[in-house]
Amino acid sequence: MKTFKSIFSWIIPIVIGLAIALLIRQFVFTMARVDGPSMEPNLVNNERIIAWRQAKIKRNSVIVFNASGVDPDAAANTSFTKRILGTAGTDYVKRVVGMPGDTVAFQNGKILINGKVVDQGYISKTEQRKGTEYEAQPGNWDLKSLSTNWSKDNGAMKVPQGKYFVLGDHRSVSNDSRYWGFVPQDKVIGVVKTFPWSTTKQQRENVNDRS
């Protein structure tokens, strides 16, 4: 009996600690790792980041989202354990460019939101221009022209309510909304924040201060 009580005396605190950690991960924040070059130079491959689940999403926020069911090439993975532990392998990191209700267009090397040129000082001039073109139709584009190649939201002229238009910062290599469409709000895991010891001041400004 004493042995039984002794075992439970250290098992219960461990179980409670794990439960608290899982709750924090599910509802407050989760750790994530950048995979690939699509957010360079502001986020780099293998960089550790935090995704705040309750943070408000705004234009220029960098977000982590589950791409299963969004990008047709992202493998579906509905395992509860893998989703909770963040090992599903279908989480993407991108920057919100278009908010619900926005029109988004690329004209003469500039991004226009609701007809107005927006500041893209967080990426190079090359990525703002040539990198932002759409492979299937080099030159100018808008949501309607992009959507002809999407599996959903064909003919969209504005970002639908409850969805976002996202782009990678390294757009010439990024697989993003240009190719498969909008990100539903319920797919968003959280808003990205970086660690001060692993980033430069400029990187923090381009991610943390714009999110």
| Residues designated catalytic | 38, 94
Question: Of 122, 103, 118, whose CA–CA distance to 169 is shortest?
Answer: 122
Query: Rounded to an integer, what distance in angstroms lies between the CA atom of residue 98 and that of residue 96?
Result: 6
Q: Residue ranges of the alpha helices (H) in 28-167? A: 80-85, 125-128, 143-147
Query: Rounded to an integer, what distance in angstroms lies between the CA atom of residue 178 and that of residue 97?
Result: 11
CB–CB of 75/91 below 8 Å?
no
Q: Which amino acid is at 173?
A: V
Query: Rounded to an integer, what distance in angstroms lies between the CA atom of residue 79 and that of residue 65?
Result: 16
Measured between its terminal Cα atoms, the distance across the chain in Å is 55
Residue found under tokens 């967080």: 122
Q: Counting beta carbons within 10 angstroms of the beta carbon of residue 118, is it exposed (0 to 12), middle (13 to 18) or buried (19 or more)?
A: middle
